[in-house]
Chain A
Amino acid sequence: MSYKIPMGPYHPALEEPYKLDLICEGETVTDAKLHIGFNFRGIEHLAETRNYIQVIALMERVCGICSNIHTLTLCQALEGLTGQTPPPRAQYIRVVMAELERLHSHVLWAGIASKLMGFKTMFMTCFEIREKIMDVLAAISGNRVNYSMNRIGGVNRDIEDPLAMLGMIEKLEGEMMKTVIPIFTTSSTARSRCAGIGVLTLDKAISCGVVGPTARASGLGQDLRRAAPYAAYSELDFDVPVEQAGDVRARLFVRALEIMQSCQILRQALTKMPPGEISTNDEKFKFITGTATSRVEAPRGEVMYSVSWKEGSRNPSRVHVRTPTFANMPAVRWMVMGARLADTPLIQASIDPCYSCTDR
């Protein structure tokens, strides 16, 4: 006999407010329905009432983890409407911020995943590492969450001594290599909780249109930093880790390898950072009538902004945001089918969902 277990919107196993209606037979999940929108904020609508300075501050608040990515994507779209091209140094600083954000997001996720596996020591280790990355972000921007780094035509703050950060990157890489990655990849506890669990096949990944590490863990090698480079990514050398298994372990592997790749990108960006201005310093730009679109590879996958403006207007006429969790979350239904009920919190967490982004 099948029965329904509602999980959420407020539940100890969920980090954020959403609801999973799990249809179970015994301990096995046979189907699931997902419900979102419990904290829907109408930010797209609100953006139409904000000027070009206010809208950047507003969109930074779409997400509490990848706030920088949202302003980067928005500013790239606004630069398309104003004809501004950020100077090369600003493009490198944007890469540094984006990769530091990816690092802290992935390490945060590793901590949450550890906690859900019942591995609380690793949770503490991950959060200790993450704190160090947050300190670097705060040292650069003066803020821990909303960095206010991006502006139309560049960035707001310079990295005065980029080479001084190399030590931190090396230390971080060392800690990841010494503790986090070996434990996640070789520990029998991690393997037994993650291998073969929550499988998303390649076919399903394609039909669901999933993005980011979730897609790459199912064998889809898409990454906008490589496929459609922005900022200074075209000048940097890095690999795009892809796994084929499509299970929770593959998602874990992809993120672990991406942490190492981010360290490699950071090292190159800090070493190669050219001297010069950090913004166009043009205060008299004009918006042209039209729509500009920008896409960026956020830690969870592709973020897309479409911004429409009418010449002479103070505010955008439309801002549409497509966040990665909005694309990835429907696929959870297929991941939990056939899984044990006890595995569902870890499975849904394995896509690194962000409901701040989804309920934008």
Chain B
Amino acid sequence: MTLLETLPKKLGSSDSWVEKGGVHWLAPCPLSVRELCMEMNVAKARFVTITAYQLPKDEGFWLEYHWDLDGQLLGFPFPLAGNSIESIYDLCEAVDWIEREIHEGFAIEFTGREYEPLLLREGDKLGVNLREPAAPNKPVSGLSGQEEVKK
């Protein structure tokens, strides 16, 4: 059996991987994100990224953690009822910038770490870059697009 096949059992799951959309998913993940990260370090998997989703209304957020194991992309979803989750920065250095970007873009708090100054450089508001609707494009003249064309 390959490491990929034996990994769900090592992670304490009775389920096996579900291959969907180019990713081997293990959902729900039986471990906390920190426990998962420690297991990924043991398996020598390479951290790839975290994808954050804002759920509709006030349902919170959905984070997907991705690791690469010998070319196979692994995915572990973590639903967030609130807006905080434990940081894994002290366990996995590679997570630093993406945790900071999600913190700034979605105002999600990764607990147990300190943040460097803003990565995205848009004032001091968190979530401003990705959560607020983009302002409509207006020419420098302040006229609407059609009026600008007429002019």
Contact = CB atoms under 8 A, between A and B. Distances in A.
A42 B49 CA distance: 18
Interface string A32-46: 010111101010111
A6 interface: no
A70 to B, nearest CB: 15
Given A209-B48, A306-B64, A228 B71 contact: yes
Given A207-B92, A227-B70, A326-B97, A292 B49 contact: no
Contacts of A222: 46, 68, 71
B130 A304 contact: no
B21 A293 contact: yes
B23 A293 contact: yes
Contact of B94 (A207, A228, A293): A207
Contacts of B84: none
B53 A318 contact: yes
A53 to B, nearest CB: 19
B120 interface: yes
Interface string B46-81: 111101110000000000101010111101000000
A45 B130 contact: yes
Contacts of B130: 42, 44-45
Contacts of A80: 21-22
Nearest to A39: B121
Main secondary structure of the interface of A (DSSP, over half): mixed
A244 interface: no
Given A36-B119, A37-B121, A208 B71 contact: no
Contacts of B70: 227
A156 interface: no
B114 interface: no
Interface in A297-311: 302, 304, 306, 308
A207 B22 contact: no
B116 A33 contact: yes
Nearest to A334: B93
A81 B73 CA distance: 17
B119 A322 contact: no
Contacts of A322: 48-49, 98
Interface in B95-151: 96-98, 116-122, 129-130, 134
Contacts of A292: 21-22
Contact of B71 (A207, A227, A317): A227
B20 interface: yes
Given A42-B129, A45-B130, A290-B20, A209 B94 contact: yes
Interface of B: 20-23, 44, 46-49, 51-53, 64, 66, 68, 70-73, 75, 92-94, 96-98, 116-122, 129-130, 134
12 contacts: A37-B120, A40-B121, A45-B134, A206-B44, A222-B68, A222-B71, A290-B21, A291-B21, A295-B22, A295-B73, A304-B73, A320-B51
